[in-house]
Amino acid sequence: MIQASKTSIRPANPADLPLIAALIRELAAYEDLSHEVRLDDAALGRHLFGPRPHAEVVIGEADGVAQGMALFFHNFSTFEGRPGIYLEDLFVRPAARGAGLGKALLAHLAALAIERDCARLEWAVLDWNAPAIGFYRALGARPMDEWTVMRVDGGTLTALAAQ
């Protein structure tokens, strides 16, 4: 375990693309979902740093060494009439966990949400990930048990678009 004396959060830049891709793959491995990763690094770079970015990333460092990230984008609440921030991925390398980096990343996003006049910060967590759920609850997050996530992708997405 890394005993960091100083954690810091910084916006990602195009030079961080290999790091971001590696962290995404490490997260997938942790979640036992590596077989789901179809990530193309060049496409990821265009979507994060191109002329019309679709998401943003902040990098978490412990003693100046990148150890985690948060990848997020804006959504919108019609009931609030304001945007929100949706956290797609939060990942801290296992050796750096417990040093406060995950909390620092979430606190950074919370401050960003307030700065951008967002109504909320939300994310999903796998129901088997008890350590993450406990961590989030300790920060004051509450589960939205009455909601079910729905998805269309792949061939189903193509078929729906053709209707």
Q: What is the CATH number of the domain that holds 126?
A: 3.40.630.30
Positions in the chain whose pLDDT score sits under 70: 1-5
Contact 67, 8 (CB under 8 A): no
Residue in the block written with tokens 């990602």: 12
Q: What is the DSSP code string of 24-42?
A: HHHHHHHTT-GGG----HH
Does 43 map to a domain? yes
- Per-residue pLDDT at 154: 92
Q: What is the mean pLDDT of the chain?
A: 95
Q: How many domains does the chain have?
A: 1
Residue 42: domain span: 7-161
Does 31 map to a domain? yes
Does 2 map to a domain? no
Read off φ and ψ for residue 95, nearest 5 degrees: -65, -20
- Per-residue pLDDT at 11: 98
- Which residues pair with residue 70 across a beta bridge? 58, 90
* Cα(48)–Cα(62) distance, integer angstroms: 23
Does 47 map to a domain? yes
- Per-residue pLDDT at 1: 61
Beta strand pairing call for 56-62 and 82-92: unpaired
Whether pTM > 0.95 for this model: the answer is no
- Per-residue pLDDT at 4: 60
- Per-residue pLDDT at 3: 63
**Which residues are CB-contacts of 163 (< 8 A; sequence separation ≥ 6)?**
none
* Cα(56)–Cα(48) distance, integer angstroms: 6
Question: Exactly one of 72, 86, 135, 136 is catalytic; which is it?
Answer: 136
* Cα(26)–Cα(93) distance, integer angstroms: 8
Contact 97, 60 (CB under 8 A): no
Does 153 map to a domain? yes
Active site residue 30: no
- Per-residue pLDDT at 119: 97
* Cα(39)–Cα(49) distance, integer angstroms: 15
